[in-house]
Chains A and B, each alone.
Chain A
Amino acid sequence: MIPAAFEYERARSVDEAVELLGRDEDAKLLAGGHSLIPAMRLRISRPSLLVDIGRLDDLRYVREDGDRIAIGALTRHAALVRDPVLAER
């Protein structure tokens, strides 16, 4: 099971990720990859460009924001399970 060929770019900021995504209408974001990579291996998904946002640590957070809790888009489930802010609320 080998994915179809694609180009790969690792974004160094959210702005760069947005810019890279805008270059190619068949681009996809790669975060954890637990859904996308198996789909690519089955060739159900064949993006021409993968924009890897996995190292954008500023998208990884849990913080209180008034009466809400904000969770960053790259926060892992395991981090949520252990998070003290969520445990308290």
Chain B
Amino acid sequence: MTKIALIVNGSRHEADVEPRQLLAYFLRNELGLTGTNVGCDTSSCGACTVLVDGESIKSCTVFALQADGSEVTTVEGIASSGELHPVQQAFHEVHALQCGYCTPGFVMATISLLQENPNPSEEEIRLGLEGNLCRCTGYHNIVRAVQAAARAGA
């Protein structure tokens, strides 16, 4: 076991982990943050996307040890004082979800995309989110939600 210390959604956590513990399972099983879904478990689908030091990563393919000393943000950590994050609000208003399983990953990937490119074109949105899959095939509304979030200055 190896000791790690990291900040998750603004709170500091110390834990002993096996090196083979993957970040997605650490967040879900050790910290109870089950908003991060595991979809394909092979880094294809992006359902497990979280931010590590502000950049989006697929947490099913990162060891918890790799995040030692980092700041991790999950979907549970983006709303503030009861207000949805603008990206969450946009997904809600535009109905950018069907079953909702991929939604946490899409929301986190969108936050990262808009940080890099605050006013993406439709093509840039589709390219920027190509690492996230929606098995309900709800992509049109997801793109609209990203555009709405960009307009809202997310």
Contacts and interface: CB of A to CB of B under 8 A. Distances in A.
Interface in B6-28: 18-20
A52 B20 contact: no
A34 B61 contact: yes
Contacts of B62: 33, 37
A7 B19 contact: yes
A55 B146 CA distance: 31
A14 B66 CA distance: 17
A5 B18 CA distance: 8
B71 interface: no
Contacts of A1: 41-42
Contacts, number: 38
B130 to A, nearest CB: 12
B61 A52 contact: no
B19 A54 contact: no
A50 B19 contact: yes
Interface string A1-45: 111111110100000000000000000001001100110110000
Interface string A68-88: 000000000000000000000
Contact of B20 (A3, A33, A54): A3
Contacts of B63: 8, 33, 37
Given A8-B63, A38-B42, A54-B66, A2 B19 contact: no
B61 A5 contact: no
B135 to A, nearest CB: 19
Contact of B61 (A10, A33, A54): A33
Given A33-B62, A37-B61, A5 B43 contact: no
Q: Which 7 A-B pairs have the closest CB atoms?
A: A8-B19, A3-B20, A37-B61, A8-B65, A38-B42, A6-B19, A1-B41
Interface of A: 1-8, 10, 30, 33-34, 37-38, 40-41, 50, 52, 54
Given A37-B43, A37-B62, 15 more contacts: A2-B20, A4-B20, A5-B19, A5-B20, A8-B2, A10-B65, A33-B66, A34-B43, A37-B61, A38-B42, A40-B20, A41-B41, A52-B65, A52-B66, A54-B66
